[in-house]
A and B are shown apart, each in its own frame.
Chain A
Amino acid sequence: MHHTIEVDKLSYSYPDGHIALREASLIVAPGEKVALVGPNGAGKSTLMLHLNGILLGRGHVRVCGLDVNDKTLGKVRAAVGLVFQNPDDQLFSPTVFDDVAFGPIYQGLPEAAVRERVEAALAAVHMRDYAKRVSHHLSVGEKKRIAIATVLSMNPEILVLDEPSAGLDPRARRTLINQLRELTQTMLVSTHDLRLVHELFPRTIIMDEGRIVADGPTDRLLNDEALLHAHGLEKM
């Protein structure tokens, strides 16, 4: 098993000509938890959309030893759980159960296995009692956790989360951090929450203007005031 993320010289420009990624390269080792920070518009979300094959840019992307291309999309999406920034995008079914069951049902698992997966995924985010609830009535914090459950139910080897703590109140944020700590998957998490980075991620990657501008131990990068300042971040 190699739950790695390998991105080599990835470039991408949107159809309107805006260049979102410029030769970004990174490698995340199995089991590693890495934070991705940088100002808005730095290309973090665009990079993440490539890890799941939603966008296909120029350059090479390999996840879990699979080349990401049209032919491997199914396997790639089973291996990489991508959680979008806005939980309302992630939750498109009438009930929480339907949403968490979507991935496993799509994969063709039998009903008993699907129920088991949903149960386990909701348990992992401590939301077992929510299965029957209607998604759009939940609080933002609840939606965020359900959104993570919707990919956990697919048993992914890699979790890619886009700003998981954005818009959460302190208690919801604390709950989320504890849950992320409990998860054992390889993780790449984009965030503006530098305290979260300090707490959870030994390694940090800084992006700006579509480039990866720094990649190293969190302690060193987040204490480098000049570097942070140059890329619109603030030392805590």
Chain B
Amino acid sequence: MHIHFLDPYRDRPSLIHALDPRVKFVLTLAFVLTMALLPVGAWPIYVLMLTLSLSLTVLSELGLKYVLKRSLLALPFVLAAVPLLFTVPGPALLTLPIGSLSLTVTATGLERLLSIMFKSWVSVQVALVFAAATSFPDMLLAMRAVKLPRLIVSLFGLMWRYMFVLADEAIRLMRARSARSGAIEGLQPGGSILWRAKVTGGLAGNLFIRSLDRGERIYAAMAARGYDGEIRSFPLPPITSTSWITLLCGLILLVGLLLFALLFWA
């Protein structure tokens, strides 16, 4: 009765899975950063980046469908960029009358919006492959390796550990609610919307209080075993020379593409 579907990790015998997590972490960040820095409308470079991300997907053996379907997740966030259509000055494409006002879509605005959409879509693909091909403990190791503060890394670790516990708890609460959601002949079940909202609010409040209590208990259990606020861990395993070479090649490729794009499109 536990949920595992939240964990994006998919075990596959692929090259990407076998890569050192530190290399994957740095290259993923570098890819997303490069994508963000590419100038607007550098379409040939965008396509090159897309082929890169698709090759990574194929290499990871996760299945194109799996990654492409989930990469659509980015689309709702792109909505925030829609006003660019109207706010960026440039040649007018069409005008939408709204009452006495009118909105003008510009070609420059449209190009910028499409660029942002494409960039976020490809970035999310790469992040997905990273998340699905790297187990969480490996990610934590990578974060430690790039000198993220240990407190933050252990916060991520604890969050990951207890997210599932909390989700299980929420599922049990909702299950208890459905178990008592009965109907009798001749009466409309369900109650008023306001009442149902209050029940849901109580449910959320309960979950919050329990999480707080659980946090206290976990801390007590840690303190009982000698925790003093300092997180200690084993030294990191050494990085092999192949990993270094992979990292270096990846970075050179990304920087090269970025420079090329800046040279011709900026």
Contacts and interface: CB of A to CB of B under 8 A. Distances in A.
B183 A74 contact: yes
30 contacts: A49-B175, A54-B175, A54-B178, A74-B189, A75-B182, A75-B185, A77-B183, A78-B183, A82-B179, A84-B179, A89-B172, A92-B199, A92-B202, A92-B203, A92-B206, A93-B202, A93-B203, A93-B206, A94-B202, A98-B202, A102-B177, A103-B181, A105-B191, A106-B182, A106-B189, A108-B187, A108-B188, A109-B187, A154-B180, A154-B182
Contacts of A78: 182-184
Given A14-B1, A94-B205, A106 B172 contact: no
A154 B173 CA distance: 18
Contacts, number: 93
Interface in A186-223: none
B195 interface: yes
A107 B202 contact: no
Contacts of A90: 176
Interface in A75-111: 75-79, 81-82, 84, 86, 88-94, 98, 102-103, 105-109
A14 B190 CA distance: 29
Given A75-B182, A92-B173, A107-B182, 12 more contacts: A74-B182, A75-B185, A76-B182, A77-B183, A78-B183, A81-B180, A84-B176, A92-B203, A94-B202, A94-B206, A103-B182, A105-B191
A89 B185 CA distance: 28
B5 to A, nearest CB: 8
B187 A107 contact: yes
- Chain A binding surface, main DSSP class: helix
A47 interface: no
Nearest to B2: A16
A103 B182 CA distance: 7
Interface residues of A, number: 35
Contact of B180 (A77, A108, A135): A77
B181 A74 contact: yes
B4 interface: yes
Contacts of A88: 210
B1 to A, nearest CB: 7
B209 interface: yes
A78 B205 CA distance: 26
A154 B180 CA distance: 8
Most buried by B among A74, A81, A154: A74
A185 interface: no
List of 8 A-B pairs having minimum Cβ-Cβ separation, nearest first? A74-B183, A78-B182, A108-B187, A77-B182, A89-B172, A103-B180, A93-B202, A82-B179
A135 B173 CA distance: 14
A119 B203 CA distance: 23
Contact of A16 (B4, B173, B181, B213): B4
A135 B188 CA distance: 28
Nearest to A89: B172
